[in-house]
Amino acid sequence: MNVAITPAMVGQVIISGILAGALYAMVALGLALIYGVMRVINIAHGPLLMLGAYTTFFLYSALGLNPYLSIPVTMAVLFLVGIGLQRTLVFRVVDAPELSSLLLTFGVSIALVNLAQLAFTSDLRAVEYLTGSLPLGPFAISKTRLVAFVFAAAVTALAFLFLQRTRLGKAIRATSQHREVAMVCGIDVQRIHMLTFGLATALAAAGGALLAVIVAIQPEMGQIWTFKSFLVLVLGGAGNYPGALLGGMLLGLVEQGASLFLTTQLSEVVAYLLLVVVLLVRPTGLLGGRQT
């Protein structure tokens, strides 16, 4: 494999990696919240992202809403969906052995994907809104990816501000650290669980909304995102919220880097191997989080 790697290529990789990384980080943050607060591994996270993409698509095609301006709407809709899921199903397995929550969310994810197949068919949809790239020196920056980056970074920053500064956010952090203590301190843990799940779903939905402009929308699009979000968490340290940022960036960079040498198919294999290696070497992730 004789590829001459120019600095320009490396630069492009770094830029593309960072652009992708913010998106990964935002979606993974949702997953981290669910795991941190409820110790539930939400396999349905990807399908929820997919629903977000479809919501944006329909808002755009039926109502002509600007796909970027409609993000808050999409997030709100999925926020409610998330709360609904938590209130009816997930709350029953929060204290059960992990096996139960794994299987439950697995079942939910299958149900969601197939519901989508039935409702929307597997025809590919797309939101044609922005195309092309911005030239920046020797680099080409895809417009949609740039906008996605801006939004994702903004949403993630807001999420962190929320967690750090607001009372509700602090309650969420307290609950994820020590549920019994939080209860004793008068925090309504049930409500926190509901809100956290809703918030996490909203984050996934935002990811879906941003992706709606970038990739083809179809019911199976979320599956790989579930896996990648886990990968981000593992890279950054499960239960460690800032770790999602680091993990997201790392994944973005590694993926783009791998695509220099390998076809896209194999870059998925790289992601997978990365997961296994990191888990073996440091089961608590690179930043060290809580041990499961």
Whichever of 2 and 264 has its CB closer to other proteins, that residue is 264
Answer for the pair 232, 220: CB distance below 8 angstroms, yes or no.
no
Scan for tokens 């952090």, then name that residue: 173
| Binding flags for other proteins, 39-78, as an x/- string (CB under 8 A) | --x-x-----------------------------------
Q: Which residues pair with 139 in a beta bridge?
A: 136
Instruction: Give the nearest distance from C-beta 145 to other proteins in angstroms.
Output: 22
Which of 6, 61, 66, 117 binds other proteins (CB under 8 A)? It is 117
What does each C-alpha distance from 77 to 102, 117, 135, 206 come to in angstroms?
25, 20, 36, 11
Contacts of 44 (CB under 8 A, 6+ apart): 85, 105, 106, 108, 109, 112, 226
Asked whether the beta carbons of 245 and 156 are under 8 A apart, the reply is yes
Closest Cα partner for 94 from 104, 81, 84? 104
Min separation Cβ 3 and other proteins, Å:
18
Part of the chain binding other proteins (CB under 8 A), chosen from 8-16, 104-112, 136-144, 176-184: 104-112
Distances (CA, A) of 142 to 20, 56, 57, 167, 283: 11, 20, 20, 38, 35
Kindly identify the residues of this chain, within the stretch 175-234, that bind other proteins according to CB under 8 A: 223-224, 226-227, 230-231, 234
Residue 85 is a binding residue for other proteins (CB under 8 A): no
Taking the least distance from each CB to other proteins, the nearer of 67 and 193 is 193
Among 11-19, 186-194, 207-215, 260-268, the segment contacting other proteins (CB under 8 A): 260-268
Based on the shown chain and the rule CB under 8 A, indicate whether residue 1 belongs to the binding site for other proteins: no
* Subset of 128-157 contacting other proteins (CB under 8 A): none
